């Protein structure tokens, strides 16, 4: 995903944690995290882009590449029941339903960052104010935003598909540009200072005349969709959960782009593929799921820290 999409997803995850549909047993934790985040939200455009701009581990930690393999692994982890990824692939009846992993370590990166965040929060809490070894809150916020980048990338189908769609006609980049253009079209952004403008509640300000069905769907869903704290039946931690997301993202890649297509496929040809539903439906679903996953991973980190502190 591109820079403003990453930043927008992170900000929408904060908004997601601020909704009335958050279960009562989570509200206090979510409210404290949302309140903490609002002091650092202007750093999200830079922080959520740090993995691409500075770390530059795109070939390894931003991907988990699968390929179809006859007689390969057919085990797919379950996701929470509110996930579109989960609902769409209940039967896994697609061409790519047996697989092997070719490359990438995206779930490992997410797990490592989650642990690092908890460690940094603990250090900050234990050290006296002004301690030279205490992480600053800006540093911790940047780690949260970096984590959101990797979590979001797992939801991009072509980050989990070994077919080289970043080469040739660069379909991968065109798909990500399509989403970024929607963010730029629908939200007020201060591009000079690389920050979003905010509404009265402190969340991304929608443009008055923006009328986009994908983005309107997402705004509605983060306010009304049931929030499930758990990772899903087969998952016990961030690593398990992100592995499951990557598996379902891989399945989606082979649904939106049939197995007989290669990197000669361009954007216009992609839009004319006989895919049912069309790409906008997949865009709605995977972007909503990405927001959900960022919010879920973040609140798990925050709750583990609060449990330790208490």
β pairing state of 99-104 and 195-196: unpaired
- Check residue 226 and give its pLDDT: 94
- Check residue 92 and give its pLDDT: 47
Q: In 3D, which of 19, 81, 25, 15 has the Cα closest to residue 303?
A: 25
- Check residue 61 and give its pLDDT: 98
Q: Please provide residue 160's backbone torsions phi and psi, each rounded to the nearest 5 degrees.
A: -120, 15
- Check residue 93 and give its pLDDT: 47
DSSP string, 81-136: TT-HHHHHTSS--STT-SEEEEEE-HHHHHHHHHHHHHHHHHHHHHSPTT-TTSPP
CA–CA gap between residue 108 and residue 164 (Å, rounded):
22
CA–CA gap between residue 131 and residue 16 (Å, rounded):
34
- Check residue 253 and give its pLDDT: 92
Q: Which residues of the chain have pLDDT under 50?
A: 91-95
- Check residue 282 and give its pLDDT: 93
- Check residue 140 and give its pLDDT: 97
What domains are defined for the chain? 3-309 (1.10.575.10)
- Check residue 90 and give its pLDDT: 56
Instruction: State the angle between helix axes of 238-256 and 279-309 in degrees (0 to 180), rounded to the nearest 10.
Output: 180
CA–CA gap between residue 161 and residue 101 (Å, rounded):
10
pTM (2 d.p.): 0.96
CA–CA gap between residue 85 and residue 241 (Å, rounded):
12
- Check residue 96 and give its pLDDT: 52
pLDDT digits (tens, 9 = 90+) for 191-219: 999 999 999 999 999 999 888 999 999 99
**DSSP H or E run through 148:** helix 137-153
């Amino acid at each position: 995903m591109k820079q403003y999409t990453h930043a927008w997803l992170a900000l929408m995850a904060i908004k997601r944690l601020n909704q009335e549909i958050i279960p009562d047993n989570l509200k206090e934790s979510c409210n404290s995290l949302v309140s903490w985040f609002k002091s650092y939200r202007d750093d999200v455009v830079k922080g959520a882009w740090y993995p691409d701009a500075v770390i530059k581990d795109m070939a390894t930690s931003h991907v988990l590449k699968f390929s179809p393999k006859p007689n390969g692994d057919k085990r797919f982890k379950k996701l929470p029941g509110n996930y579109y990824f989960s609902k769409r692939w209940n039967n896994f009846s697609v061409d790519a339903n047996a697989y092997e992993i070719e490359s990438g370590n995206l779930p490992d990166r997410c797990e490592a960052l989650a642990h690092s965040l908890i460690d940094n929060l603990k250090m900050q809490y234990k050290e006296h104010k002004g301690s030279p070894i205490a992480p600053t809150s800006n540093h911790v916020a940047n780690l949260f935003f970096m984590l959101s980048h990797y979590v979001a990338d797992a939801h991009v189908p072509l980050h989990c598909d070994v077919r080289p769609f970043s080469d040739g006609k660069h379909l991968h980049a065109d798909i990500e540009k399509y989403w970024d253009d929607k963010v730029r079209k629908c939200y007020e952004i201060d591009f000079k200072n690389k920050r979003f403008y905010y509404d009265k509640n402190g969340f991304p300000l929608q443009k008055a005349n923006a009328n986009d069905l994908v983005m309107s769907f997402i705004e509605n869903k983060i306010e009304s969709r049931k929030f499930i704290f758990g990772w899903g039946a087969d998952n016990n931690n961030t690593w398990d959960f992100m592995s499951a997301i990557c598996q379902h993202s891989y399945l989606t890649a082979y649904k939106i782009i049939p197995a007989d297509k290669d990197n000669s496929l361009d954007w216009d040809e992609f839009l004319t593929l006989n895919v049912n539903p069309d790409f906008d439906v997949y865009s709605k679903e995977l972007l909503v799921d990405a927001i959900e996953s960022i919010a879920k991973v973040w609140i798990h980190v925050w709750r583990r820290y609060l449990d330790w502190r208490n």
